Chains A and B, each alone.
Chain A
Amino acid sequence: MIKSIARRRKVATTLLMIGLLIGLIYSIFPFLWMISTSLKPNNEVFAIPQTLIPKEPTLDAYDTIFHSSTRMRYFANSIIVSLVVTALTLVISIFAGYAFSRFEFRGKKLMNMFIINTQAIPPIALMIPYFSMIVMMNLHDTLWALILTYLVFTLPYGVLMMTGYFNTINKALDEAVMVDGGSSMTILWRILVPISLPGIVATAVYTFILSWNEYLYALTLTQSQSMRTVPVGIQLLIGEHFYVWNEMMAMSFLGSIPVLIIYLFCQKYVVAGMTAGSVKS
């Protein structure tokens, strides 16, 4: 009896391992192939037999990218936009979250409903009015156009996240500071913010990834090569020279690095951000 259970466990474990292996190949093979292709000379990309390990590995594709000022500009633009959006989102969300968590005021419910409901608006529905607003504001083809519009989609999440986080912190702490003569700013920055660091990091990670990956507005609200971000820039490579696959894969790999680094180091927060909407804690 015990023997048969042990055997069944072994069979189950083997089956599970096979399943996981198939899943693993499915999920990471495209990555491996991307990296592999980026290290091949371009005439080897479709050479038969196709191999995962490059026959003549070379860094030529990367070299071309690093020596191209337009391409490096895509990276600079993406980094600037993502960092500024993240910083602004954090400050504004922390302020708003503090108000929602610690004060009762007229219109609070309405504002809260408004913020929750803004998440229902699909970005494409705002594309045309944004285009004309941004042109009217003389911001077309500037990074500001992207920063402003990205905020609309990062703020609701940030505010809800920070409000939720502040709500978990005991109000007795604020009162203690208040009695000692501290102002609301002191309470916020000295007490709430340090305690809420995990929530802040989760918000920052979410905001950065969202901004880094955004495509629709980057496509429609900027125009010149020097204002393009990585997601749009990579697509422009296709138009330019369709067949330089090694370079396009190198660009794709480089374009994924910031998000990959954040993901590897802040995995816990990325996962927390993913589950925030669906799992009740």
Chain B
Amino acid sequence: MDLIKRKGKLRSNATPYFFVAPAIILLIILMLVPIVMVIWYSFFDKVVVTKNSNFVGFANYVKVFQDDVFWTSVWNTTYYTIISVVFHLLLGLVFALMLNSDLIPSALRNIMRLLFILPWVLTVTIVAIVWRLLLSPDGIINYVLMGANIISEKYAWFSEIDLAMPALIFVNIWSGYPYYMVTLLAGLQGISKDYYEAATLDGCNGWQKFWYITLPQLKPILLSTSMLDIILTMRVFALVWTVTGGGPGTSTEVMGTYIYKDAFSRLDFARASTSSVIILILSMIISYFYIRLQKAKEE
């Protein structure tokens, strides 16, 4: 009797472990192990390509920090991220406010919303190739801008040092604003109508209502969406790699392309691992704040 009871208890104790095991084991093997590996690599030379690599201490870190291109890529990534995030937010907010208005019938609003989200579902490499066509020297955008006398010559948007980065950011803004639009729309629908009615009775105009009711109510969503967007936008690789490859020169080099080139063009896996560790630490710091923010919101 006692034995059966104990066996039963043992089984019920083991049950949850049985259920979480596949997820945890997979994530340990494919997450913890590679993180340890990449940190390990960053302290050795000639890793991955040869078997006999030597411990070099912080030499790889010194090499990375002394490389101007690394700092260029850090600056470009920061610039790309900040401008993208600001415009994602502005466009997303404007579209969300327009789509939330009850001046237009809700059926129309639903169709509009469906179409406005489209850029977000497209594969990055498809976004890249479509915009390469649109912004090519003979492309439709040059054609329209010249027709409207806004520009006087054809621009090769992605191949000119001064234009490549702004053009990439422009494309990224296009593909990223729907995320804000959707979360802000959900936020707007959550604001009680009572606030607006009370404000109308007090004689507030539309702008005042937006400034004193809408914006403060959206603040938590704006904050967490922007934080998440910063984290995700910093990861940029596919768009830059497939449109400009980091060029012309190093004008669009971002951290992702910098690491990729170190590894697969120069086969310097040790230095690439070192930059990976640096990115990893940076991301962890930003994510720490994001998770803390989310926690604070839950409490």
Spell out A's residues near B (CB within 8 Å).
9, 12-13, 16-17, 19-20, 23-24, 26-28, 30-31, 33-34, 37, 45-46, 48, 50, 91-93, 95-96, 98-100, 102-105, 108, 111, 114-133, 148-149, 151-152, 155-156, 159, 184, 209, 212-213, 215-216, 220, 230-232, 234-235, 238, 245, 248-249, 252, 255-256, 259-260, 263-264, 267, 270-271, 274-275, 277-280
Contacts and interface: CB of A to CB of B under 8 A. Distances in A.
Contacts of A264: 114
A34 B115 CA distance: 15
Given A245-B133, A256-B126, A119 B140 contact: no
A125 B182 contact: no
Interface of B: 13, 15-20, 22-24, 26-27, 30-31, 33-35, 37-38, 41, 47-48, 94-95, 98-99, 101, 103-104, 112, 114-134, 138-140, 143, 174, 178-179, 182-183, 186-187, 190, 220-221, 224-225, 228, 231, 234-235, 237-238, 242, 255-256, 259-260, 263-264, 269, 272-273, 276-277, 279-280, 283-284, 287-288, 290-291, 297-298
B124 A213 contact: yes
Q: Which of A48, A123, A184 has the most CB of B within 10 A?
A: A184
Contacts of A274: 120, 178-179, 182-183
Contacts of A27: 115-116, 118-119, 174, 178
Nearest 8 Cβ contacts at the A-B interface: A120-B287, A129-B34, A103-B16, A99-B19, A96-B23, A129-B37, A215-B238, A46-B138
A122 B104 contact: no
Given A37-B133, A128-B41, A274-B179, A30 B98 contact: no
Contacts of A230: 123
Given A155-B23, A234-B126, A238-B242, 10 more contacts: A30-B130, A95-B19, A120-B288, A124-B237, A129-B41, A132-B269, A184-B19, A215-B237, A216-B256, A277-B224
B30 A96 contact: no
Contacts of A104: 16
A179 to B, nearest CB: 15
A131 B143 CA distance: 44
Contact of A125 (B48, B98, B242, B280): B280
Contacts of B99: 20
5 contacts: A126-B35, A126-B276, A129-B35, A152-B30, A215-B242
A159 B23 contact: yes
A249 B23 contact: no
Given A213-B123, A213-B124, A231-B123, A122 B235 contact: yes
Contacts, number: 270
A103 B15 contact: yes
Nearest to B34: A129
B130 A128 contact: no
Given A30-B131, A50-B140, A129-B38, A124 B256 contact: yes
B106 to A, nearest CB: 14
A1 B287 CA distance: 54
Contacts of B235: 122-124
A271 B26 contact: no
A115 B276 CA distance: 21
